[in-house]
Structures are given as C-alpha cells and as structure tokens.
Structure 1
Amino acid sequence: MHELAIAENIVDTVCTRAAGRPVRRVILRIGALTAVLPDTMRFCFELAATGTAAHGAALDLDLRPAVVFCRVCRSERRLPDLIPLCPCGSADVTVTTGRELDIVAMEVA
C-alpha cells in the first residue's frame, strides 16, 4: 500500500505550506498509470492527516486516464488498461497523460 507513504508526503507538504493555518481542502491530480487507488488514497490521507493542520480536510481527486501517442499509426489513444500499448498493437508509444501525481491546489482557513 504505497498510498500511505504518498499521503504522508502530501500532508507534510500542505501543512508546511499552510504555515500553521488549518487546511480545509486538498486537490490532487492522479494519473491512471500511478497505480494509486482512489479509495485507498482517501483512507490513507485521512489517516496521515490525523493530528495535523490537515485533520478533517476534504480530499478531491482529479483522476486522469492513461493516454499514449503512437509513432506507428500517428494517433493519440486512451489506453483501455495499464499496459502502454497502442490499440493498433504497437509498443512504440509515448505516454502523454496518466503519470501525474500532483498537488493541484489547497484551501486553508
């Protein structure tokens, strides 16, 4: 469950940025290829935030699909699963979205 380590890092970051003010809301952008499970992330965030300035903060997740650009068929395609292969069968792809794991915004009191 790598989500706990990620959640602890996020809580540390937002609490540092909040400079002692209560954190009310955190927005994360999470790509499908990060293998972060949304429900597990919410649970771990709540656990990591306990006793911190982020205690009770809402966690909003902006989930991004995995998208690749195929150099063979020259098209951008959404991946149906986590294997970076173009539906045309080519493995000559560049991932354009799906690897994000970013704190997009936070709201403080």
Structure 2
Amino acid sequence: MHEMSITQNVVEICEKSAEGRRILAVVLEIGELSGVVPEAVEFCFEACTAGTLAEGARLSIDRVPGRGECGNCATVFPVRTYFDPCPACGAYGVRVVAGEELRVKELEVE
C-alpha cells in the first residue's frame, strides 16, 4: 500500500508549511488518474498524523476528474484511463490535461 508513504509525505509537507503552528484542516486534491486511492489515504491519515502538528486535523479530499486533449483534433473530453479514444474523431494518443494531481490544496492552521 503506497498510500501510507504518500500520506506520510503529505503530513511532512503540511508540517513544513505550518511553520510550527498546529494544523486544523488539510484539503488534498487527488486526481482520478493519479493511481492513489483516496479511501486509503483517509484510512492512513489518522495513523500518520499521530504525534505531529496535524494530530486531530480534519482531512478533506477533492477528487479531480480525468480530462484529456486529443492530439489529432484538439477536443478536450473526460477520460477514465490512459487508453480512452477521442469521442469526436476516434483517435488514440490523448494527452492528459487533468486528473493526475496529488497536492495539498489548502491548509488551515491555528
């Protein structure tokens, strides 16, 4: 489960950004194509924040839908996998423009 190490890194990033202040809430953006399971991050969050500035913090996760742009006709459309064809022209080779994100979007501190 790589979500444990990802969550540990998220907590470290939050602590550095908080500059010694207690963390009250964290909002993450997780893309549908990122390979990260949001429910697993939620499960790991409490364990990873124990004994840190983020202990007891609320975690919210904003899921970012996958979107791709066709390299053939430039149509932008929703994608669920890296192999979805363009719905307008049927071409493959779509460039992903959203949905690979994994970032701390917001941090609320005391």
Q: Give TM-score scaled by structure 1 length.
A: 0.90
Deviations 1:58-108 (A, max 9, x none): 1111100111001224311101x3233224442221101011111111001
The residue aligned with 2:105 is 104
What is the rounded CA distance, in whole Å, between the counterparts of 1:85 and 1:99 in structure 2? 15
- Secondary structure of residue in 2 paired with 1:34: coil
Q: Is there any run of 5+ residues in structure 2 with no aligned partner, and where? A: none
What letter corresponds to residue 11 of structure 1 in structure 2? V
What letter corresponds to residue 104 of structure 1 in structure 2? K
What is the rounded CA distance, in whole Å, between the counterparts of 2:10 and 2:62 in structure 1? 15
Contact 2:27 2:61 in 1 (8 A): yes
The residue aligned with 2:94 is 93
- Secondary structure of residue in 1 paired with 2:95: strand
What is the rounded CA distance, in whole Å, between the counterparts of 1:8 and 1:66 in structure 2? 25
What letter corresponds to residue 83 of structure 1 in structure 2? Y
What is the rounded CA distance, in whole Å, between the counterparts of 2:70 and 2:86 in structure 1? 9
What letter corresponds to residue 41 of structure 2 in structure 1? M
The residue aligned with 2:82 is 83
Contact 1:68 1:84 in 2 (8 A): no
Deviations 1:7-35 (A, max 9, x none): 00010111122122110001111111112
Q: Is there any run of 5+ residues in structure 1 with no aligned partner, and where? A: none
User: Which residues in structure 2 correspond to 1:8-87 (within 5 Å)?
Assistant: 8-79=8-79, 81-87=80-86
What letter corresponds to residue 108 of structure 2 in structure 1? E
Aligned pairs, number: 108
What is the rounded CA distance, in whole Å, between the counterparts of 1:74 and 1:83 in structure 2? 16
Output the aligned Cα RMSD: 1.4
